[in-house]
């Protein structure tokens, strides 16, 4: 297979060149075609792949490229190249959302087979913090034909991640490593692994159950030739179809059918006044906090239902899914009976969701199954049809069987169906609970699919509902319930669940039980479940205020609201120093420990920036008279600017004019600007150990080109000693220090 030289082409990457993306794509394919035609016939027919790489822009919510824009950019490439090539290769992807956009564009605009290879980091993680299984679940749901790894590192480092990929994938697996880890020798990137060693390691990888091998950066024809010689007589192994029922987000996945799961039921407006009001007013911050709360109470999956008669459900559903995914990486269950809302949510969801629901009605199956087939997901089938809900277990089982068969006729594998045998209240029919449970057992045993139940309906119309709900929950778990839709905050429900896990051997050494139930105060009925996260984090700084917590959770709206409240009683500097900075420090510490990933880091940064926006507005107009002009910049290679912006606003408030050169500013630009504007004082900020050297470089250049300019420095990566070492005139650990120094300079 030859790859057309189209990897780096997209409408965004050609900006500023004299070419359009389609021109370059066609030219790249023409060259590959020509080469393919010249491949000697004894080697066989060479296929030409339309090679597509990432767009080079971060997608929402991490960056500003929307999902629809990304799909359209990939679609342009696919429309241009598909007819001229034999397959599509999506390479070097490490953001699951971008993988989804590219896969969708490929599938919507061509019938070619699609190969997806991702690039993982040394911990085997994607940009979003997820492992490759989240990508396998999503990509297989979207119809990928082959999946694997490429780039990043060599075969030696890649090998340890291959078995998990093979265990998860039902489609054939591809592995294209580099010729080792890249090393810069005399300014040139080199790769140390020689052809013989590369080929031997690839042979080992092949034996793990991989189907296709290749090479990425640093591999040469000699590497590939030797690899083919060593591997060509090995049998070709195709992946076995896996029967695992997996749902995922961009960061986590859950398997249905192993340990029972908890689906959090709280994001559903039925009977919830506050949620109804939030949905009507577009207060998605409320939905986010409900999501976080259920996550901390132990939910595995979150149900999202926004059905209210007076709202635009498709628009609200899409937004709700996006907003919830900004703050939690738990997989979601998209719960709607409106196929338009369902499609919008499925399209924009980042992962492989649960789809709630389909039922035995032909009309509903014809509307929902094509969506599930196109976007992927695990579909919940309700045992109701045109004749209503059968009042026998056999009747419900028959509908379940029909749903599974009809799903298969749409090309949806049985493993991607779970059945809900419907809970009705025992207040109206004495056998209701038994019928549901008998049907559940039949479905589990005879159909072999996972089961789901909305548990709390069983007590509708009765007093002290949790008593009945929790007993029914235990009975259902005992009959094989795979996932209960419950309130994870209910103490009795959580107890029923935890005790069940202990009794059924899902809680090794009863550790979870001992941890959760040693304190008698916590086992009182009616109390809300305490967040296990809060206790896990006890070695860290506790949340000191609601603003601190909002920044930690990445909740922008809440952070703004809490800043407004705090400003009524506290001084802005105190809020910055006691809430904002410590919260960001904790985020940074969790990031360093590998507990937080880039999405959380970015959402917290955004919340802090929004909070600071409120402080800035409250500080009011800056004085008209200028005491002097200061240039502020974050140094080259560093995009952290929250601290620099705080310094800027304080300087302005104390009467200085600030020329803000922004972030990632090269030394030459800073020096030229200072010189051109005859500025007496420059403030530099750097937050990373890797960028303080650029700060030193800026100071060196300034001393050479414009020695009369004074330089103050700051940022978490610095210390007084280091600042002295690199020749800065002044260092301060906080923004007020910058103001005092400016006062002394212009004083
Ligand atoms: C928020 C944040 C981000 C945000 C930044 C958003 C933005 N617009 O700024 C985002 C998510 C984009 C981000 C990205 C990355 N980050 Co970051 N990030 C942080 C975090 C959590 C907080 C930084 C912050 O804003 N603090 C609050 C502000 C107010 O504090 P401050 O900047 O220190 O400023 C105060 C003082 O220092 C002083 N001050 C600041 N500047 C100046 C200037 C002068 C002249 C003076 C006098 C005073 C002064 O006044 C300010 C107010 O008092 C830190 C963790 C931490 N503990 O710092 C990591 C941290 C800095 N990031 C880190 C990393 C690794 C990254 C990434 C590489 C992650 C990745 N894998 O992509 C990228 C880097 C991209 C790049 N090339 O720069 C590491 C750096 C590690 C290292 N070895 O140096 C840290 C330390 C986290 C960690 N523990 O691992 N990050």
pLDDT average, residue stretch 592-600? 84
Structure tokens at 346: 């499925």
pLDDT of residue 536: 40
Q: By alpha-carbon position, which residue is closest to atom 86 of ligand 1?
A: 588
pLDDT tens digit sequence for 439-456: 999 999 999 999 999 999
- Work out which ligand 1 atom sits closest to the CA atom of 601: 11
pLDDT at 542 over 80: no
120, 580, 588, 665: residue to mutate for ligand 1 pocket, most atoms within 8 A of CB? 588
pLDDT tens digit sequence for 364-388: 999 999 999 999 999 999 999 999 9
683 phi, psi to nearest 5 deg: -115, 125
Q: By alpha-carbon position, which residue is closest to atom 49 of ligand 1?
A: 714
Rounded distance between C-alpha atoms, residue 335 and residue 267, angstroms:
10
- Work out which ligand 1 atom sits closest to the CA atom of 641: 9
Short-list 659, 579, 657, 589, CA closest to 612: 579
Give the confidence band of 62 by pLDDT, cuts at 50, 70, 90.
Answer: confident
pLDDT of residue 539: 45
Rounded distance between C-alpha atoms, residue 538 and residue 73, angstroms:
46
584 C-alpha vs ligand 1 centroid, how far in Å?
8
Q: By alpha-carbon position, which residue is closest to atom 79 of ligand 1?
A: 688
Q: What is the mean pLDDT of the chain?
A: 93
Written as one string, the DSSP assignment of 217-281 is TT--HHHHHHHHHHHTTSPP-PPPPP--EEEE-SS-EEEETSS-EEEE--S--TT-HHHHHHHHH
pLDDT tens digit sequence for 276-335: 999 999 999 999 999 999 999 999 999 999 999 889 999 999 999 999 999 999 999 999
User: pLDDT above 90 covers what percent of the chain?
Assistant: 84
Hey, which residues does 261 pair with through a beta bridge? 483
Give the confidence band of 540 by pLDDT, cuts at 50, 70, 90.
Answer: low
Whose tokens are 């025992």? That residue is 426
pLDDT average, residue stretch 134-145? 98
Specify the pTM.
0.82
Structure tokens at 226: 């030797």
274 C-alpha vs ligand 1 centroid, how far in Å?
37
pLDDT at 73 over 60: yes
Using CB atoms within 10 Å of the CB of residue 725, give its burial: 0 to 12 exposed, 13 to 18 middle, 19+ buried.
Answer: exposed
pLDDT average, residue stretch 94-98? 97
pLDDT of residue 533: 45
699 C-alpha vs ligand 1 centroid, how far in Å?
21
CB-based pocket (< 6 A), ligand 1? 581, 584-585, 587-588, 591-592, 598, 601-602, 605, 637-644, 646-647, 683-685, 687-690, 712-717, 732, 734-735, 737-738
pLDDT of residue 525: 54
pLDDT at 632 over 50: yes
pLDDT of residue 399: 98
635 C-alpha vs ligand 1 centroid, how far in Å?
12
184 C-alpha vs ligand 1 centroid, how far in Å?
27
Rounded distance between C-alpha atoms, residue 690 and residue 715, angstroms:
13
Number of neighbouring beta carbons within 10 Å of residue 395 = 17
504 phi, psi to nearest 5 deg: -100, 15
Q: 592 or 425: whose pLDDT is higher?
A: 425
Rounded distance between C-alpha atoms, residue 403 and residue 417, angstroms:
8
pLDDT of residue 625: 84
User: pLDDT above 70 covers what percent of the chain?
Assistant: 97
Structure tokens at 483: 């996932």
């Amino acid at each position: 297979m030859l790859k057309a030289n189209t990897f780096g082409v997209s409408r965004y990457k050609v900006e500023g060149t004299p070419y359009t993306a389609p021109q370059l794509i066609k030219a790249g394919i023409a060259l590959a075609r020509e080469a393919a035609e010249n491949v000697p016939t004894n080697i066989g027919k060479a296929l030409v792949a339309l090679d597509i790489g990432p767009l080079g822009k971060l997608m929402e919510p991490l960056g500003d490229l929307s999902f629809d824009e990304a799909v359209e950019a990939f679609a342009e490439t696919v429309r241009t190249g598909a007819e001229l090539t034999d397959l599509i290769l999506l390479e070097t992807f490490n953001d699951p959302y971008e993988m989804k956009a590219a896969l969708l564009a490929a599938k919507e605009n061509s019938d070619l087979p699609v190969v997806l290879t991702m690039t993982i980091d040394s911990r085997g993680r994607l940009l979003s913090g997820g492992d490759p299984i989240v990508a396998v679940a999503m990509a297989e749901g979207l119809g990928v034909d082959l999946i694997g790894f490429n780039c990043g590192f060599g075969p030696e480092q890649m090998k340890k991640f291959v078995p998990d990929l093979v265990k998860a994938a039902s489609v054939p697996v591809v592995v294209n490593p580099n010729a080792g880890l890249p090393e810069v020798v005399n300014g040139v990137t080199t790769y140390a692994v020689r052809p013989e060693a590369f080929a031997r390691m690839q042979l080992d990888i092949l034996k793990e159950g991989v189907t296709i091998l290749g090479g990425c950066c640093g591999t040469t024809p000699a590497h590939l030739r030797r690899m083919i010689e060593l591997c060509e007589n090995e049998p070709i192994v195709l992946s076995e179809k896996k029967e695992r029922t997996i749902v995922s987000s961009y960061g986590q996945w859950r398997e249905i059918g192993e340990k029972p799961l908890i689906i959090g039921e709280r994001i559903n407006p039925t009977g919830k006044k506050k949620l109804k009001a939030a949905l009507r007013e577009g207060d998605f911050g409320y939905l986010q906090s409900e999501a976080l709360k259920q996550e901390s109470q132990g939910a595995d999956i979150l149900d999202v239902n926004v059905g209210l008669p007076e709202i635009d459900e498709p628009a609200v559903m899409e937004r709700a899914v996006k907003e919830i995914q900004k703050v939690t990486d738990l997989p979601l269950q998209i719960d709607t009976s409106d196929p338009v809302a369902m499609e919008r949510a499925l399209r924009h969801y980042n992962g492989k969701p649960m789809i709630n629901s389909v039922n035995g009605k032909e009309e509903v199956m014809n509307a929902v199954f094509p969506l599930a087939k196109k976007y992927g997901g695990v579909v919940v089938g309700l045992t109701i049809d045109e004749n209503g809900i059968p009042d026998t277990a056999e009747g419900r089982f028959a509908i379940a069987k029909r749903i599974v068969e009809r799903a298969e006729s749409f090309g949806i594998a049985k493993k991607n169906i779970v059945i809900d045998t419907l809970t009705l209240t025992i207040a109206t029919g004495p056998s209701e609970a038994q019928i549901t449970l008998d049907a559940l057992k039949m479905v589990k045993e005879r159909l072999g699919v996972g089961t789901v139940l909305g548990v709390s309906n069983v007590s509708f119309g009765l007093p002290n509902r949790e008593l009945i709900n929790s007993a029914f929950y235990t009975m259902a778990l005992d009959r094989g319930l795979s996932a209960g839709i419950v309130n994870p905050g209910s103490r009795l429900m959580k107890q029923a669940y935890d005790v069940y896990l202990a009794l059924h051997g899902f809680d090794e050494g009863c550790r979870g039980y001992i941890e959760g139930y040693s304190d008698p105060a916590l086992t009182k009925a009616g109390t809300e479940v305490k967040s296990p996260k809060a206790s896990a984090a006890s070695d860290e700084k506790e949340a000191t205020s609601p603003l601190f917590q909002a920044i930690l959770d990445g909740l922008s709206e809440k952070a703004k609201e809490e800043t407004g409240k705090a400003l009524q009683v506290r001084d802005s500097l105190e809020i910055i120093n006691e809430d904002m900075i410590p919260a960001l420090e904790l985020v940074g510490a969790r990031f360093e420990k590998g507990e937080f990933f880039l999405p959380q880091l970015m959402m917290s940064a955004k919340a802090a920036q929004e909070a600071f926006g409120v402080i800035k507005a409250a500080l009011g107009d800056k004085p008209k008279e200028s005491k002097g002009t200061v240039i502020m910049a974050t140094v080259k290679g560093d995009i952290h600017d929250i601290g620099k912006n705080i310094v800027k606003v304080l300087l302005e408030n104390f009467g200085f004019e600030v020329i803000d050169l922004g972030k990632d500013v090269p030394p030459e630009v800073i020096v030229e600007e200072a010189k051109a504007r005859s500025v007496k004082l420059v403030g530099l900020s750097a937050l990373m150990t890797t960028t303080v050297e650029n700060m030193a470089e800026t100071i060196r250049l300034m001393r050479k080109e414009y020695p009369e300019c004074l330089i103050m420095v700051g940022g978490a990566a610095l210390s007084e000693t280091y600042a002295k070492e690199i020749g800065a005139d002044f260092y301060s650990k906080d923004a007020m220090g910058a103001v005092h120094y400016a006062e002394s300079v212009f004083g």
